[in-house]
């Protein structure tokens, strides 16, 4: 395997994971960020995000001298014989006006480094960008001796390191095949199936994958609603369909709606680019609408659970992050449901194992605590919004003594209803029949 000198620009979830994992594969990596304080922390091995395995990889990379952190893209590219052979762009592409991806960070980096890149260098875009961005980046670079490659990432938060090192596939797109092959070779040790294609196709793979996942989840959330209407059990229905290898068991768990930093952003962005070329994509639009409806449906469930009106009712929320195993609150369906509950006058208190008790500016309508018992105190209903496994082993007997009304709305079908009913809780799940309490509350 060739060891390459690699610059990674942007040290967020994607950049930091990419840099640390490429270093673990033997490459010499310099990661850059504009945030000086973050770089200073990273230089001492302090990882500012919750991502299993990442602190260990960063520590190993630093100790082996294969991983360094610097401020700014220019410093990462370096000069002379030490200059980067490959530069990864891992900067944010947030949702801009009208749902389109905001590419200003990508453009700023390209402008900063365009005259610094050595001849023969390859610029690799890992950020999720609209189809055509590789071509636009090449235009902006105006460096015929530097190839631009699209190499989308498929990392899930909470298992990003595992996903990087055991990928289902590597996708590399470039109109110059030798550059695409050089990028594919960086991952050779992983032995993953590799799709070599043109840049536009690679860019579309990312959107097509995330939008498919979003549609799958909206579909399963709708099936869960149907189960409630027919008195069927969604766990059995999804198990039954999941054994079909064309469908698969993954991504079939109903919930309070899908969220996070990618799925909502990418569905909006694809719809936006479709609209820009006059292309109608009703299936994707319906998936987004279904997601909004799902969040409202969760509010209905809580409203019913507390007896018909949320006004003035104390509601305890278990879980605020968009999924378990992360501290990320971006586009969290839990927060959307919380805002809808607050809008109907509920008095909210929330606990999340990944979120500190004080998050500046989170929301005025939601009091945070680091004690799940406080969430239960005087609550007219408890609502599980994130599937943190530790919620299953809370002291439910103690919680039963503290609540005002023993009812749990479990929007993740996480809890063991038998355990809860024995201590007097009624459990209302998603796509399943409600489980009445065994002992009177």
Task: State the catalytic residues.
Answer: 262
Stretch that binds ligand UDX, among 90-98, 260-268, 354-362, 422-430 (CB under 6 A): 260-268
Judged by beta carbon, residue 11 or residue 313, the one nearer ligand UDX is: 11
Q: With the CA atoms of 242, 246, 248 and 253 taken in that order, what torsion angle do they form, in degrees rounded to the nearest 10? A: -70
Q: How far is the CB of 73 from ligand UDX (least distance, A)?
A: 23
When binding is defined by CB under 6 A, the residue of 155, 183, 298, 375 that contacts ligand UDX is: 155
Please report, for residues 46, 70, 91, 112, 325, the alpha-carbon distance to residue 157 in angstroms, rounded to integers and kept in the order given. Answer: 18, 24, 16, 29, 8
Minimum distance from residue 323 beta carbon to ligand UDX (Å): 4
CB of 436 to ligand UDX, least distance (A): 26
* Among candidate residues 26, 64, 28, 27, the one with its CA nearest the CA of residue 45: 64
Does 217 contact ligand UDX by CB under 6 A?
yes
For residue 144, the minimal CB distance to ligand UDX (Å) is 32
User: Should residue 260 be labelled a site residue for ligand UDX when binding is judged by CB under 6 A?
Assistant: yes
Q: Which of 51, 157, 327, 410 binds ligand UDX (CB under 6 A)?
A: 157
**Which residue from 337, 271, 331, 280 is spatially nearest to 303, judged by alpha carbons?**
337
Residue 153 near ligand UDX by CB under 6 A:
yes
Single out the residue of 116, 251, 365, 405 in contact with ligand UDX (rule: CB under 6 A): 251
Work out which of 154, 351, 388, 425 binds ligand UDX, going by CB under 6 A: 154
259 binds ligand UDX (CB under 6 A): yes
Choose the stretch contacting ligand UDX; rule: CB under 6 A; options: 115-123, 251-259, 350-358, 415-423. Answer: 251-259
Number of alpha helices (DSSP H) and beta strands (DSSP E) in the chain: 16, 14
- Decide if residue 288 touches ligand UDX (CB under 6 A): no
103 vs 155 by CB, closer to ligand UDX: 155
User: How many angstroms separate the Cα of 307 from the Cα of each of 299, 310, 335, 353?
Assistant: 12, 8, 22, 29
Residue 335 found at the interface with ligand UDX (CB under 6 A): no
Q: Which of 4, 314, 323, 432 binds ligand UDX (CB under 6 A)?
A: 323
Alpha helix positions (H), 279-349: 282-305, 333-343
Q: Which is nearer to ligand UDX, 298 or 368 (CB)?
A: 298
Dist CA 196 CA 155 (whole Å): 19
For residue 272, give both structure tokens.
Answer: 């936006």
Q: Tell whether residue 156 is a contact of ligand UDX (CB under 6 A).
A: yes
Sheet holding 28-33, edge to edge: 67-71, 28-33, 5-9, 86-89, 122-125, 147-150, 170-173, 194-197
SS3 172: strand
CB of 157 to ligand UDX, least distance (A): 4
253 near ligand UDX, judged by CB under 6 A: yes
Alpha-carbon radius of gyration of the chain = 24
Q: Give the pairing type, strands 366-368 and 170-173.
A: unpaired
Residues that bind ligand UDX (CB under 6 A): 153-157, 210, 213, 217, 251-253, 255, 258-263, 322-323, 333
């Amino acid at each position: 395997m060739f060891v390459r000198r690699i610059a990674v620009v942007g040290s967020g979830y994607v950049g930091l994971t990419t840099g640390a994992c490429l270093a673990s594969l033997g490459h010499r990596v310099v990661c850059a960020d504009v945030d000086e304080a973050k770089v200073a922390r990273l230089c001492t091995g302090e990882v500012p995000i919750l991502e299993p395995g990442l602190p260990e990889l960063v520590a190993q990379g630093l100790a082996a001298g294969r991983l360094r952190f610097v401020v700014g893209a220019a410093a990462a590219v370096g000069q002379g014989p030490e200059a980067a052979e490959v530069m990864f762009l891992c900067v944010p592409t947030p949702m801009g006006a009208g749902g389109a991806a905001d590419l200003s960070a990508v453009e700023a980096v390209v402008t900063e480094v365009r005259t610094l890149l050595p001849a023969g260098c390859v610029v690799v875009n890992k950020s999720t960008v609209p189809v055509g961005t590789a071509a636009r980046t090449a235009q902006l670079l105006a460096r015929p001796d530097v190839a631009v490659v699209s190499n989308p990432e498929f990392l899930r938060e909470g298992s990003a390191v595992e996903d990087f090192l055991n990928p289902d596939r590597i996708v590399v797109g470039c109109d110059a095949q030798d550059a695409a092959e050089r990028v594919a070779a960086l991952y050779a040790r992983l032995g993953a199936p590799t799709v070599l294609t043109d840049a536009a196709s690679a860019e579309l793979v990312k959107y097509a994958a995330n939008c498919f996942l979003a549609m799958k989840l909206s579909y399963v959330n709708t099936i869960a609603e149907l189960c409630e209407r027919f008195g069927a059990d969604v766990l059995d229905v999804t198990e039954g369909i999941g054994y079909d290898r064309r469908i698969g068991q993954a991504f079939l768990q109903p919930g309070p709606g899908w969220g996070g930093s990618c799925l909502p952003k990418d569905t909006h962005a694809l719809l936006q680019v479709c609209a820009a070329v006059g292309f109608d994509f009703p299936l994707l639009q319906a998936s987004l609408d279904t997601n909004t409806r799902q969040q409202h449906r969760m509010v209905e469930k809580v409203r019913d659970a507390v007896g018909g009106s949320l006004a003035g009712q104390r509601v305890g929320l278990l879980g605020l992050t968009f999924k378990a195993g992360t501290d990320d609150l971006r586009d969290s369906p839990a927060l959307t449901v919380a805002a809808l509950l607050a809008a109907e006058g509920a008095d909210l208190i929330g606990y999340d194992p990944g979120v500190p008790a004080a998050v500046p500016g989170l929301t005025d309508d939601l009091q945070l605590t680091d004690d799940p018992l406080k969430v239960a105190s005087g609550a007219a209903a408890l609502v599980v919004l994130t599937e943190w496994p530790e919620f299953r082993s809370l002291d439910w007997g103690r919680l039963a003594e503290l609540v005002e009304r023993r009812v749990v709305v479990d929007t993740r079908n996480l809890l063991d209803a038998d355990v809860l009913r024995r201590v007097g809780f009624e459990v209302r799940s998603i796509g399943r029949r409600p489980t009445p309490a065994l002992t009177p509350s």
